[in-house]
Structure 1
Amino acid sequence: MVKELHKRGFGKLRVIPSISPSGLAWRCVLINQTKKYKFIASTWIQTIENIDSRGEIKLSPKELAGLFIKKNVEFIEHCKGKNEEYEKWFNQVVKSLKNDELPYAFDLSDFFFPTSYWLTTKGNEIRTLPNEKDYY
């Protein structure tokens, strides 16, 4: 969905993915580039009606992006503009993920130290942009 939002001109939208302390839930926070506006996407996704009995979203990324824009106008307006470096990096992150693999910047345990990489649920490392940890 974020990749699609970037295509639609919301390049100042950034993603901060994380894992719950138990490791059983993936969480996703969206922020704008200035860090003034924050949106908890993983909570919003749970409110969507087009989710099947297994908890999988039935909407395509394009449909989900359209719904996100429609339902979250105030937040998304603060994400308008370009950030070519981040958009290119994020696109590469999405392409690098395998089926059933999710990235995370950190887990939500008691101790968190920002790093220069994200981990994935399959144990892979994804190098981040040099200043990415400043957004956490």
Structure 2
Amino acid sequence: MTTLVAVQGDITAQTSDAIVNAANNAMRGGGGVDGAIHRAGGPEILRECIARFPNGLATGDAGWTTGGRLPARWIVHTVGPNHGAGQRDRALLESCYRRSLEVADELGARSVAFPLISAGVYAWPRREAISAAIDTIASTPTSIEEVLLVAYDAKAHQEISSALAMATSVRILQGARELHRRGYHGLRVRPAVAPSGMYWRVVLYDPAEPDSGIHYTSGAGTEFAGGHVDAMSAPGDVADLILRALPGLQATNDAPAYAAWFAGLVAAAEPQHALPVASADYFDDTDGWEIGWCSGLRYPKPPE
């Protein structure tokens, strides 16, 4: 199983088998992470780039060179989309992580260190860049044992760490959505914020069995429904955990409107790893549920 860890430091100093370079299409060096890697790794990297990528590299693709003078054995080069220049298709950003993992697998690497691709001079909104990184790494089949997300500054590191901690809650919502897709339309989800404002809470329940229910609080970390859920957990596996905890839940396929509503709620929350809130001390759900604590962004209430 792959582990995903946030690290604060210099990408060029990482001792992973491979590090990922946020390159540009020309593949001849540049600024930011790209320039730092070429400076630290020495001229051998540029010579290999010229030889291996005579026509450059397409946005969203990846390729490799040796690590030159770096501690890492290999450099996996990938070209992220330039958000500031209008390249705003998230699929291209996701492709960078997916292709980089595929190249690292082909090399036989067991550990890989990524920078936050496109979040620097390419101006991708950092929260969405973090979400794309975590979700794509989690959903990509790989033999890599350890993936590091490396942030140079403390603020970015804290944001990545917070997103990883929040990922358990996001995966629970995705697991519920997966059950709806399987026809378990009776599953209901009610999220809230604790009175202290410190923790997100959620109850998953079957209205046909009012005494049943799975209660989770973010204060419990990765413990959920008698199992372990984190950023690397597949939504299908989380769905199976929920089914084991609610054995009476049936696949009725009888509430497509609710299932579609909930799928839309999760889709609204996913891109920024925000969490929905149906109730809290600071508001009620008269105008709909909230996406993100105290955000003011509302999503319509569930259908009757």
TM-score for the superposition, normalised by structure 2:
0.36
- 1:90–1:84 CA distance, 2 compared to 1 (3 A): same
Structure 1 residue 12, shift from structure 2 partner:
0.8
2:236 maps to 1:62:
yes
1:3 maps to what in 2? 177
TM-score for the superposition, normalised by structure 1:
0.73
1:117 maps to what in 2? 288
2:223 maps to 1:46:
yes
Structure 1 residue 25, shift from structure 2 partner:
0.8
**Equivalent residue of 1:106, what SS?**
coil
**Equivalent residue of 1:95, what SS?**
helix
Aligned residue pair count: 122
User: Which residue identity is paired with 1:61?
Assistant: P
Q: CA RMSD in A?
A: 2.6
Bigger RCO of structures 1 and 2 (CA < 8 A, at least 6 apart)? 1
1:81 maps to what in 2? 252
Structure 1 residue 94, shift from structure 2 partner:
1.0
Q: Which has the higher helix share?
A: 2
2:266 maps to what in 1? 94
User: Which residue identity is paired with 1:119?
Assistant: E
**Kept in 2: contact 1:12–1:33 (CA 8 A):** yes
**Equivalent residue of 2:213, what SS?**
strand
Structure 2's unaligned 5+ residue stretches are 1-174
Residues 58-91 of structure 1: per-residue CA shift (max 9 Å, x gap): 311111112332x32xx24234312111001111
Structure 1's unaligned 5+ residue stretches are 132-136
User: Which residue identity is paired with 2:257?
Assistant: E
Q: Following the alignment from structure 1 to structure 2, what is the Cα–Cα distance between the partners of residues 38 and 4?
A: 20
- 1:79–1:57 CA distance, 2 compared to 1 (3 A): farther
